[in-house]
Each structure stands twice: as structure tokens, then as C-alpha cells.
Amino acid sequence: MTTHEVFNQVPPLAGYDAADDPALLDGLEREGVGWATAELHELGRLGGSEQAIEYGRLANEHPPVLRTHDRYGHRIDEVEFHPAWHELMRTAVTYGLHAAPWADDRPGAHVARAAKFYTWRPDAGHGCPISMTYAAVPALRHNPELAARYEPLLTAATYDFGLRSPLAKQGLLAGMSMTEKQGGSDVRANTTTARLEPDGTYRLVGHKWFTSAPMCDVFLTLAQAPGGLTCFLVPRVLPDGTRNPMRLMRLKDKLGNRSNASSEVEYEHAVAWRVGDEGRGVHTIIDMVNLTRLDCVIGAAAGMRQGVITAAHHVTHRQAFGRYLVDQPLMRNVLADLAVESEAATVLMMRLAGATDRSARGDAGETAFKRLALAVGKYWVCKRWPAHAAEALECLGGNGYVEESGMPRLFRESPLNSIWEGSGNVAALDVLRALAREPQVMEAFQAEVSAAAGTDARLDAAVRQVQADLSDPADLELRARRVVERLALVLQGSLLVRHGHPAVADAFCASRLAGDHGHAYGTLPAGVDFAAIISRATPKVG
């Protein structure tokens, strides 16, 4: 008699094309970036391969280790990574997910990069240094001399890990070191000091509470110079090959993002070059912050997509109570609801990427739209991911709760993007600040949303509600989250009505705008085209 027969188990989700995502591919064509499709599918097949998935597992099960001293007692401040991490990084850099768009004159280069960043997700942690390298370039351009020296190496498609003088390497990665324990998001409260030297360099002294990716080659950091808070470039290794006194004190023990090193750092008279004018540190760094905020939206949208395709794959192969789970009405409701949320995030992400590309090329209207829409999208999409990840995990039942499924790692990752680069309140208040100080941003936002006017009565009603919200100044800060939520929903609704699949757009408007929706996923109203929505979220394996 057999005691252990394995049946009714789901085959591994591997051997698929992670770029086979209708909302993503439609957005790529809509933005005029069809030239990137072939390479995107090449990367997608790598991302969905068994090997890449295994690299992601290994990088997280063997997290980075800090080596402060060598065996003889010399200070070395090294971070040691599993080889899988380096393979993930090498692929990301080779395919230009880092700063490559800044060296590409083709319209849509930033959109192509966003699609790749979205697609290459076997591990989220290694995306942190990739994202910061992308975001560092426009900030560095505030010092043209530094940009001329470092930008070609930041944009190079060569992953060159190791502690050497930056200008002696074939490719560089950039990190950021801004927050301190007494200030957090309030970087103006920083106490790190910067003293000007006769040779024009500065010496930094202070403690940074959260330095992302301390194994990078150069860092943009904030410190108090004589003229006020200022941005600086800090290399780990100086031009003469000696190590800059940038001491790694410890690595953070984080909820998620465990494959990536995050650290506390002390500057002991570290050498730094000024980027931008003294006292203009926030102004200088804001371009970097906005681009990493974009990547927060991309990462959250990608996480939702990973969650929903994992859930769809499971319920397509798993039986319970005599039927496949995907054939059971309530599961179909849950899965379709998750898919609608995912597509709404993806269509918004692609629109923001397009605005970023056109803004980088001098389009003032797109710059104004991005100023408001990016803060709105960062707040809402990132805020939606944790509940989405939890529901996707639940679709797998107990199988989803064990580490081998990969879903616990996805769930632990999900709160990060809402916290990084300004938590929910910071993002919501940034929206109010933009509305108060820059009237053109609301004009650009309204022009975008009104492009769908008259096509769906539910969307029109929601737009009128937003206008009423904003016309009432009473307790506006207290109501900030509600206002920003509605701004996000009408923007997503407008994009889906104009560009999305009709079944997805109808379900979104019925549930998110008309209010025919419960407080949990899986409460879509009757009449939704569940089959059409679910088919778009089901991966093709093999």
C-alpha cells in the first residue's frame, strides 16, 4: 500500500515569458516604443526561466554579510554577496535597466527601460542599486564637470563589482545616503557637516541612518555646508586608490528586500565633491527622488503582476470540491479583481514612464503632468500592493504560506515601495503642495483625465467628485489621503477607458468609481466579463 502519492499539485511556474503581459505590451506600442519589444521578450524569457527564479531564491536565502575588518584587523568595510546576486545584477546592467536611457537619444528610451525594469523581477532587492543608478544621473548633472567624468561609466552596460577607484572601472553603480535617525524623511534636519578644503573638496563628518546599497561605487549624500544643506558626491575609493573613510557600521535586518544590503554609515572626514550650489541640496536631489519614486510605482505594479499570475497559474491547475479552482465563481471573482488592480497599476506606470521620457526631452506640459501624477501614483499604487499580495497569496491557500512558493517573499516586499522615498503621508502632502504652488500641474492633470470625458458616466461622476473635493479648502490636509486616492482612481479610470481592454475598464469603473465593490478583493459585481479578464492574467508556460 502506498502512503505518499503526489497528485493534485501545481507544476512550477517557470519557463514562461515575463514580458507576455497585454497591458505592458499595449503600453509599449502606445508610447511608440515598439523597437524595444524584441529585447523585452528576450529579457522576459530570461526572467521567467527556472535559472533566474533560482537566482532570486538563492540571493534571498543567502543575504549579504558585512565584513568590517580583515583577519589581521585592518578596516575593510566590505559587503559579501552570494554569486546569484551578481548574476542578477549582471543581467540588469547588461540590459540597461540602470542608467542606460541617459545615453540613448531615441524617443521612448525611458519607457523601454521602465518596461524592462517591470519585467526583470526574479528578485526585487537587486533593483535598489539599479534604480538609484538610474536616478543619480540628472542630479549629478548639476555639476557638469563631475557628470562628464562619471556619467559615461554610470551608463555603461558593464557590471564591474569590486572596490577600486571609480574612474579605473568599466562601469559604476550609484547609491544614495540621505536619511538620519533624528530626521527620517525630514532631510532638512540632517546634522552631518561638510567642511570646505583649500583644494575645493569637502570633508564630511556624521552618521547616516539608512544608506541604500553600500557596496555601490559612488553615493549622493546630503550634508550641512556653510551655506546650508547641500548635495555631495562621495566615492568609496579615492582617485589614488585609498579607501574613503566611509565606515559601514552595520547592515539593517529588514522585513523584506533581504537580498539587498542597507546600512548605517559614518563619515569620518570623508572626501566629497559638491553637486549643485551650497544650500540647494533638496533642489539638487529632487530629480533623483522623483525617478526613484517612479521606480517605486514600477516595482509595485510588477509585484502585483507577479502575484496575480502566480495565483492564476495555481488556480488553473489545482482542484477542490470536484472542480478546478479557476472554474469556481467566487475564485473567479477574486482572481479577476486582482487582475483589474494589476492592469490599472500597469497602465498608470506606463503613462508615467512616457511622461518621464518626454519631460527629460523638455516637454513642459508633460513635466507639469508628471509633477502631480507621479506623486499621486506613488501614493496609490504602492499603497495598494500589500493587500493585493496578501490576497494573491491566499489564492494558494496553505501552499502560499510556505517559503517554497515564493509568495511570502513577495508579501514581505510589498510594504517597502510605499515607505521608500516618502511614506503615504509624505506623498499625499506632496500632492497638496504641488496643487497649492503650481497651478499648471492641475491643468495638465485635468487635460489628461478629460480626454476620456463622455465615454463612461461613472468616470464622469467621479471626476466631478474630485473637482468638488478640491474646491473645498476646509480640512484639506486632514482629507489629503481621500483626495489623492480619488485623483489616482480617476486617472487610472481615464487611462483604462481610453487604452485598456473593455472588460477591464468596465470592471474598474463599476467597482472602483461607481462604488459597487466591497472592502476586500473578490467583490466585483455581477455582469463583469470574468473570462476575458482572467485570460489576460494567466501565464503561458512551456
Quick check: 184 pLDDT over 80? no
In the structure, what pLDDT confidence band is assigned to residue 341 with cuts at 50, 70 and 90? Answer: very high
Question: For residue 178, what pLDDT is reported?
Answer: 85
Eight-class DSSP state of 142:
T
Helix (H, G, I), strand (E, B) or coil at 320: strand
CA dist 529 and 534 (Å) reads 9
Cell of 470: 478640491
Q: Between 109-119 and 127-140, two packed helices, what is the crossing angle to 10 degrees?
A: 160
Taking only the tens place, the pLDDT of each residue in 453-494 is 999 999 999 999 999 999 888 899 999 999 999 999 999 999
Q: Which of 130, 54, 61 is nearest to 89 (CA)?
A: 130
Question: For residue 1, what pLDDT is reported?
Answer: 64
Query: How, if at all, do strands 193-196 and 202-212 pair?
Result: antiparallel
Averaged confidence pLDDT in the chain: 95
Write down the residue that cell numbers 471626476 correspond to.
463
Question: For residue 472, what pLDDT is reported?
Answer: 87
Quick check: 420 pLDDT over 90? no
Cell of 32: 511608440
Quick check: 529 pLDDT over 80? yes
Taking only the tens place, the pLDDT of each residue in 134-146 is 999 999 999 999 9
Give, in degrees to the nearest 5, the angle at Cα 349 between 301 and 508: 75
Backbone phi, then psi, for 178, in 5-degree steps? -120, -50
Cell of 383: 499603497
In the structure, what pLDDT confidence band is assigned to residue 202 with cuts at 50, 70 and 90? Answer: very high
Quick check: 279 pLDDT over 80? yes
Helix (H, G, I), strand (E, B) or coil at 249: strand
Helix (H, G, I), strand (E, B) or coil at 323: strand
Taking only the tens place, the pLDDT of each residue in 65-100 is 999 999 999 999 999 999 999 999 999 999 999 999
Q: How far is CA 396 from CA 5, 7, 59, 308, in A?
A: 20, 16, 24, 11
Quick check: 315 pLDDT over 70? yes
In the structure, what pLDDT confidence band is assigned to residue 3 with cuts at 50, 70 and 90? Answer: confident
Question: For residue 311, what pLDDT is reported?
Answer: 98
Q: Is 316 exposed, middle or buried (0-12, 13-18, 19+ CB in 10 A)?
A: middle
- Indicate the range of 104-113, 178-187, 206-215 predicted with least confidence: 178-187
Question: For residue 140, what pLDDT is reported?
Answer: 96
Q: Higher confidence at residue 58 or residue 191?
A: 58
Give, in degrees to the nearest 5, the angle at Cα 244 between 209 and 125: 45
Per DSSP, the residues of 364-428 read HHHHHHHHHHHHHHHHHHHHHHHHHHHHHHHHTTHHHHSGGGSHHHHHHHTTHHHHTTS-HHHHH
**Burial call 175-191: b when 16+ CB within 10 Å, e when fewer:** bbbbbbeeeeeebeebe
Quick check: 193 pLDDT over 90? yes
Taking only the tens place, the pLDDT of each residue in 229-252 is 999 999 999 999 999 999 999 999
Backbone phi, then psi, for 532, in 5-degree steps? -65, -40
Question: For residue 200, what pLDDT is reported?
Answer: 96
Question: For residue 421, what pLDDT is reported?
Answer: 85
Quick check: 18 pLDDT over 90? yes
Region of 406 on the Ramachandran plot (φ > 0 left; ψ -120 to 50 alpha; else beta): left
Write down the residue that cell numbers 523597437 correspond to.
35
Average pLDDT value for residue range 313-328: 95
